[in-house]
Amino acid sequence: MKIKKPLPQPSTDARQHSEKLTERICEEIKHHGGSISFRHYMEMALYEPALGYYVAGKRKLGKGGDFITAPEVSPLFSQCVANQCIQIIEKIQHADILEFGAGSGTMAADILLHLEAKECLPDHYYILDVSPELKALQKETLSQSCPHLLPHVTWLSALPEQPFTGVILANEVLDAMPVELFMMHQHQTYQQRVSFEEGKFKLINQSINETNPIHKAVDRLAFDRSIDSELKYQSEFNPNIDDWIQQLNDCLEQGLVLLIDYGYTRSEYYHPEREAGTLICHYQHLVHNDFFWFPGLQDITANVDFTHVAEAANKTANSTADVNEESIAGSANGLTVSGFTSQAAFLTGCGLEALFINKLTQHPEQQYPLAQQVRTLSLPSEMGERFKVIALTKAFDDDLIGFSAMDFRHKL
Ligand SMILES: C[S@@+](CC[C@H](N)C(=O)[O-])C[C@H]1O[C@@H](n2cnc3c(N)ncnc32)[C@H](O)[C@@H]1O
């Protein structure tokens, strides 16, 4: 973790903005009798209207922001994703694309330009984002990069009511969803809640009994019971995954859901040695773990439990949530887990090398930056292994190109 201490002090305006959000959170804490769940705190810190990190005016993505995502590293990433889309668009009639959480709009622009070059443009490219501020930025990016393709783009405020056919994409969206925090100590599970005491936010541990939904959720995480019971084992889980995947299933008639994010399989995520969980904060390209530092001015994010995603997909098709070979096969009414791999292997399967060579041939003077981009996207020490890709399909049986180099479904 790249921590610089002390973190750079925000400007007076930024601090005043954070104070307003802090006051709102305090009102909420008071309203709930002295504490709120961490999920509630994170929801407000990131999405409170006009104040939260993702919905207020600060630049977040790219060099001048707080963090860089793969589409911001290189158009080669989005071109690979577009190649995966082409496989679906060529096979399914009237296939469209729907992107969740499109950030700055860079991936949408690069995908559309690549599909146009390949003469494979869908009629519609839908974008669904919770952030009004980012929607405005997406419009600006697309107007600058590909104004002639704007008629293909529609911004949605909810999932389409009509059945959707095609590809649903989400890059780094699951990690931006609010999580519940918990702690296990001496065979007891505690929900970690947020209170405000002596002018500071504070985490408090609240005992929960076995009927509490959080206890049930934690119990399902199948911990290695060899965890030392004296250890204060702290972690988190995303309670939104099941509903979100169910909604995607209800909306998708035929096609592919492609989710890309940093994360682990469950046994890696809840490993005995990962005793402090995975929750981190980003501020001006520094990573730290003080999630109470100036709410609204920094990103707060947790890794994704991909086994949970696979279970949620299997639930749409089966009554059992276990991940096993039979459930991976899925059913006609639900989602099938059709691939799980590292970002590096996915990009290889989608033709990264050919895209790189093609670009190099056109622009030999860009050899160094292009090679650097490929390294960042695919080296194990950069984004190559930490980021994973999971594919959920419905009524689509062909092997997906993105998982042709390597498929780790058996590890889920
Ligand atoms: C970490 S950014 C990733 C942006 C972009 N996908 C990229 O890779 O550059 C998270 C994005 O997801 C959006 N977001 C978060 N939760 C969402 C949800 N439930 N539905 C739609 N968008 C969401 C945020 O507004 C933001 O645009």
pLDDT at 227: 66
Q: Encoding tokens for residue 198?
A: 């002596």
Q: Which residues contact 275 (CB under 8 A, 6 or more apart)?
A: 227, 231, 232, 233, 234
Of 412, 262, 395, 237, nearest to 316 by C-alpha is 395
The SS3 assignment for 225 reads coil
- Say yes or no: CB of residue 179 within 6 Å of ligand 1: no
Is there an atom of ligand 1 within 6 Å of 279 CB?
Answer: no
Å from CA of 246 to ligand 1 middle: 18
How far apart, in whole angstroms, are the C-alpha atoms of residue 124 and residue 56?
Answer: 28
φ, ψ at 48 (rounded to 5°): -60, 125
**Under 8 Å CB-to-CB from 36, ≥6 apart: which residues?**
25, 28, 29, 193, 194
Measure 308 CA to ligand 1 centroid, in angstroms.
19
330: CA distance to ligand 1 center in Å? 28
Q: Residue 272: is the preceding peptide bond cis (ω within 30°)?
A: no
Taking the C-alpha atoms of residue 347 and residue 374, their distance in angstroms, rounded to an integer, is 10
Contact 312, 32 (CB under 8 A): no
Spatial CA neighbour of 376 closest among 339, 340, 343: 343
pLDDT given at position 329: 47
Q: Is the CB of 71 under 6 A from ligand 1?
A: yes
**CB of residue 38 inside a 6 A radius of ligand 1:** no
Q: Give the span between the Cα atoms of 254 and 235, in whole angstroms.
A: 36
The backbone region for 103, taken as left when phi is positive above 0, alpha when psi lies in -120 to 50, beta otherwise, is left
Taking 3-state DSSP, the helix, strand and coil percentages for the chain, each rounded to the nearest 5, stand at 40, 25, 35
The CB of 101 under 6 Å from ligand 1? The reply is yes
Q: Look at ligand 1, atom 7, and give the residue with the nearest C-alpha.
A: 103
- pTM, two decimal places: 0.94
Q: Which own/partner contact pairs does 323-331 have at CB distance under 8 Å and 24+ positions apart? A: 323/412, 328/409, 328/412, 330/393
What does the pLDDT read at residue 148? 98
Burial class (CB in 10 A: 0-12, 13-18, 19+), 390: buried
Quick one: pLDDT at residue 218?
A: 81
Q: What is the radius of gyration, based on Cα positions, of the chain?
A: 21
| Ligand 1 near 173 CB (within 6 A) | yes
228 CA to middle of ligand 1, Å? 37
Report how far residue 317's alpha carbon sits from residue 405's, in angstroms, rounded to the nearest whole number. 27
Three-class SS of residue 405?
coil
Q: Which pLDDT score, from 0 to 100, does residue 1 have?
A: 52
Q: Which two tokens stand for residue 346?
A: 């996915």
**3 state DSSP class of 230:** coil
Per-residue pLDDT of the chain (412 residues; tens, 9 = 90+): 556 567 889 999 999 999 999 999 999 999 999 999 999 999 999 999 999 999 987 678 888 888 899 999 999 999 999 999 999 999 999 999 999 999 999 999 999 999 999 999 999 999 999 999 999 999 999 999 999 999 999 999 999 999 999 999 999 999 999 999 999 888 888 999 999 999 999 999 999 888 888 887 787 775 665 667 788 889 999 999 999 999 999 999 999 999 999 999 998 998 888 889 999 999 999 999 999 999 999 999 999 999 999 999 999 986 444 455 544 444 557 999 999 999 999 999 999 999 999 999 999 999 999 999 999 999 999 999 999 999 999 999 999 999 999 999 999 9
Q: Which residue has its alpha carbon closest to ligand 1 atom 23?
A: 101
Tell which one of 48, 97, 129, 179 to mutate to probe ligand 1, the residue whose CB is within 8 A of the most ligand atoms.
129
Q: Is the CB of 343 under 6 A from ligand 1?
A: no
Q: Which of 55, 28, 49 is nearest to 194 (CA)?
A: 28
Q: Are 86 and 116 in contact (CB under 8 A)?
A: no
CB within 8 A of 247, min separation 6: which ones? 159
